[in-house]
Chains A and B, each alone.
Chain A
Amino acid sequence: MLRSLTVQLLSLVGTLLLVLSLVFVAMRALPGDAAAVLGGTEASAEQVDALRRQLGLDRPIAVQFAAWWGDLARGDLGDSIRERRPVAQVIGDRVPVTLALAGLAFALSVIAGLGLGLLAGRRPGGPADGGVLAFTTVGLSLPEFWFGFLLILVFAVELGWFPVIGYPTEGGAGVRAWHLLLPAVTLAIPRAAQLARLTRARLLEELHADYVRTARSKGVGARALTRHVAANALPGLLPLLALELGGLLTGTIVVEQVFGLPGLGLTLLGSISARDYPVVQGVTIVAVLVYVLVNWLADLAQVAADPRLKYA
């Protein structure tokens, strides 16, 4: 398994090279012409041509491709057309909001998902199990943005406990968390539902294993048994956790829009409609790298937590 993880890493690098090339092609397949957009509606054909030369868009596509890889290797993501500054700066300015939101949502979903899953799995068919089943079913059917509306209507408009939309430019962590709580709950609900279902399934699977029956017949106490079962059942949750965590960097888009949070998601949306392709490309590359890396690390962590996989 350790060797196969190394092979996997090499294969991942190959996939990433392919993906980044795809991104290059895709950005040039997007409708609209960056030079025309930058020039604005009043620009003459000569001005647009000059801009195109300045941006290097008149060079052969192979030369552009090579230059693009060169820039990328040096960590240069190009300049934003709309904001006229490096894409890395734009991302750096916006990413803290998204990271805070994603972190809070992830923490909430893990606490709720694990808790509910363990609660439901302990007595399958019991009232707690039924309640959790109802929660997960509804949680997975709720349109994220619509649930956001509900929270805004109830907790921000009617009760006035939370700000309706927006994010403070100054203020301490407490004030910020106050603004992030409703959006984080919105994001956490479907993710907690998914995690609860998997936790319950893994727990039941493990409780039916032969070693549990043997241990019980030998009189092992509930606490010791819980420790054994948890050690076997929990590493199996890592892949799902990684998919959720890795996906949150761009998974916040809809919620950022609903709650008016100036994060990476809103930047991406704005850049798509303004045809600011360097930013779209930069955000895509960062999101893909984070997603792939988190998933690979989860595979590593799973092997570390579950030594049986080393020999699988």
Chain B
Amino acid sequence: MRRRRWSRGAVGAWLLALVVLSALVGPELVPYDPIEPDYRARFATPSAEHWLGTDNLGRDVFARALAGGRVSLVITGAATLLALTVGLVTGLAAAGLRGPVDVVLTRAFDALLAFPGFLLVLLLVAMLGGGVGQTIAALGVAGSPLYFRLTRAFTRQELQRDYVTAGIALGASHVRLLFRHALPNFAGALAVQAASTAAAFLLVEASLSYLGLGVPLPTPSWGNVLQDARAFLTRQPWAALGPGLVLATAALAFQFVADGVRDRLDRRS
């Protein structure tokens, strides 16, 4: 097979950098406010001034897509980090302390896993109410059982190795063994999983906001920009196509990054 010059991981990293950059500086470069309505400019078709036209309130769709990217990416990143942290800490605690702590934690996370994934997020958001922080919390909680299970299994496996016995004999503390010796051995596997989780969270957040349960209007997110576009789909298809394409690209980038990290780890092991 011919050697590919661009690995999937590299393409993913560049795509992701592009998307993040556009969300970071894009809103500063576009001379339109993503939230303030302008009733004189409703339903404009795409033009040099309004690349994706304007919506039913006269807001520039391109500006809203860029500003929405900021919100969506922040939620995705923060929620992934939250799921990872919660799962990691509880997983290490369960595997390290064993006994009742292990039993209670395992039961609790099993209970969360008894819900179909999307239903759990939906119920949590309904319970907490909409908002950026609430959506992050709901996604974080719903995503944490996976990381708990992975961390617990990996840690138990590592704790049975000879180097741990040697470490105990040499007087290393429990905490030191867990964080300095066991954790680095499976951190890579968790990183791969985190990139896949981010891709999934990006799409779940969009679905939630699309349904009107995640980020409340008028704050834009990729999901609720598309919700606005749905109502005028046949009249203004470009308002739905543009932001959706960016969202799909971002999800693709996260997936490529996950594949890239996985390939790199596989080659090493």
Taking Cβ atoms with an 8 Å cutoff, the residues of A that contact B are: 11, 14-16, 18-19, 22, 26, 29-31, 125, 137-138, 140-146, 149-150, 152-153, 157, 246-247, 249-251, 253-254, 257-258, 268-269, 272-273, 280, 284, 287-288, 291-292
Alpha-carbon distance A272/B181, docked complex (angstroms): 47
| Chain B residues near A19 (CB-CB < 8 A) | 111, 114-115
Report yes or no: B116 in contact with A146, Cβ–Cβ below 8 A: no
B126 at the interface (CB under 8 A from A): yes
Report yes or no: A254 in contact with B207, Cβ–Cβ below 8 A: yes
Report yes or no: A292 in contact with B114, Cβ–Cβ below 8 A: yes
Return 6 A-B CB contacts under 8 Å, by A number: A144-B203, A145-B230, A150-B241, A157-B233, A254-B211, A273-B212
B137 at the interface (CB under 8 A from A): no
- How far, in Å, is B50 (CB) from chain A's closest CB? 20
Report yes or no: B252 in contact with A138, Cβ–Cβ below 8 A: yes
Alpha-carbon distance A257/B209, docked complex (angstroms): 13
Chain A, residue nearest B254 (CB)? A141
Alpha-carbon distance A206/B213, docked complex (angstroms): 44
The residues in B between 1 and 28 inclusive whose CB is less than 8 angstroms from any CB of A are: 1
Report yes or no: B211 in contact with A149, Cβ–Cβ below 8 A: no
B247 at the interface (CB under 8 A from A): yes
> Given A146-B226, A146-B247, is A291 in contact with B203 using a C-beta cutoff of 8 Å?
no
Secondary structure call for the B interface? helix
B255 at the interface (CB under 8 A from A): yes
Classify chain B's interface size.
35 or more
Report yes or no: A142 in contact with B248, Cβ–Cβ below 8 A: yes
- How far, in Å, is B73 (CB) from chain A's closest CB? 15
- How far, in Å, is A149 (CB) from chain B's closest CB? 5
Task: Name the one of B212, B233, B251 contacting A143, with C-beta atoms under 8 angstroms.
Answer: B251
> Given A142-B248, A143-B206, A145-B207, is A291 in contact with B114 using a C-beta cutoff of 8 Å?
yes
Report yes or no: A153 in contact with B111, Cβ–Cβ below 8 A: no
| Chain B residues near A253 (CB-CB < 8 A) | 118, 122, 211
Q: Mark B243-262, 1 if CB is under 8 A from A, else 0.
A: 01001110110011000000
B237 at the interface (CB under 8 A from A): yes
Which 5 A-B pairs rank lowest in CB-CB distance, beginning with the nearest?
A146-B244, A141-B252, A141-B251, A247-B116, A250-B119
| Chain B residues near A273 (CB-CB < 8 A) | 212
Report yes or no: B115 in contact with A288, Cβ–Cβ below 8 A: yes
Report yes or no: B226 in contact with A272, Cβ–Cβ below 8 A: no
Report yes or no: A149 in contact with B230, Cβ–Cβ below 8 A: yes
- How far, in Å, is A46 (CB) from chain B's closest CB? 29
> Given A250-B119, A287-B119, is A16 in contact with B114 using a C-beta cutoff of 8 Å?
yes
Alpha-carbon distance A26/B128, docked complex (angstroms): 10
- How far, in Å, is B126 (CB) from chain A's closest CB? 5
Q: Mark B109-124, 1 if CB is under 8 A from A, else 0.
A: 0110011111100110
Alpha-carbon distance A254/B126, docked complex (angstroms): 15
Chain A, residue nearest B243 (CB)? A146
| Chain B residues near A140 (CB-CB < 8 A) | 199, 251, 255
B37 at the interface (CB under 8 A from A): no
Task: Name the one of A138, A269, A291 contacting B115, with C-beta atoms under 8 angstroms.
Answer: A291
B129 at the interface (CB under 8 A from A): yes
Q: How many A-B residue pairs have CB under 8 A?
A: 117
- How far, in Å, is A267 (CB) from chain B's closest CB? 13
Additional pairs, 19, CB under 8 Å, beyond known A140-B199, A143-B226, A287-B119: A18-B107, A18-B111, A19-B111, A19-B115, A26-B127, A137-B256, A140-B255, A141-B248, A141-B249, A141-B252, A145-B207, A146-B248, A149-B240, A250-B116, A250-B122, A253-B122, A280-B126, A287-B115, A288-B116
Chain A, residue nearest B126 (CB)? A272
- How far, in Å, is B82 (CB) from chain A's closest CB? 19
Alpha-carbon distance A258/B122, docked complex (angstroms): 17
| Chain A residues near B244 (CB-CB < 8 A) | 143, 146, 149
Report yes or no: A251 in contact with B116, Cβ–Cβ below 8 A: yes
Q: Mark B95-117, 1 if CB is under 8 A from A, else 0.
A: 00000000000010011001111
Alpha-carbon distance A140/B249, docked complex (angstroms): 11
> Given A19-B115, A291-B115, is A137 in contact with B255 using a C-beta cutoff of 8 Å?
yes
- How far, in Å, is A185 (CB) from chain B's closest CB? 17
> Given A143-B244, A146-B226, is A31 in contact with B129 using a C-beta cutoff of 8 Å?
yes
Task: Name the one of A31, A257, A292 contacting B211, with C-beta atoms under 8 angstroms.
Answer: A257
Task: Name the one of B107, B116, B255 contacting A249, with C-beta atoms under 8 angstroms.
Answer: B116
B160 at the interface (CB under 8 A from A): no
Report yes or no: B118 in contact with A30, Cβ–Cβ below 8 A: no
Q: Mark B18-49, 1 if CB is under 8 A from A, else 0.
A: 00000000000000000000000000000000
| Chain B residues near A141 (CB-CB < 8 A) | 199, 203, 248-249, 251-252, 255
| Chain A residues near B118 (CB-CB < 8 A) | 247, 250-251, 253
Report yes or no: A153 in contact with B248, Cβ–Cβ below 8 A: no
Alpha-carbon distance A185/B238, docked complex (angstroms): 22
| Chain B residues near A157 (CB-CB < 8 A) | 233-234
Report yes or no: A15 in contact with B116, Cβ–Cβ below 8 A: no
B154 at the interface (CB under 8 A from A): no
Alpha-carbon distance A269/B207, docked complex (angstroms): 13
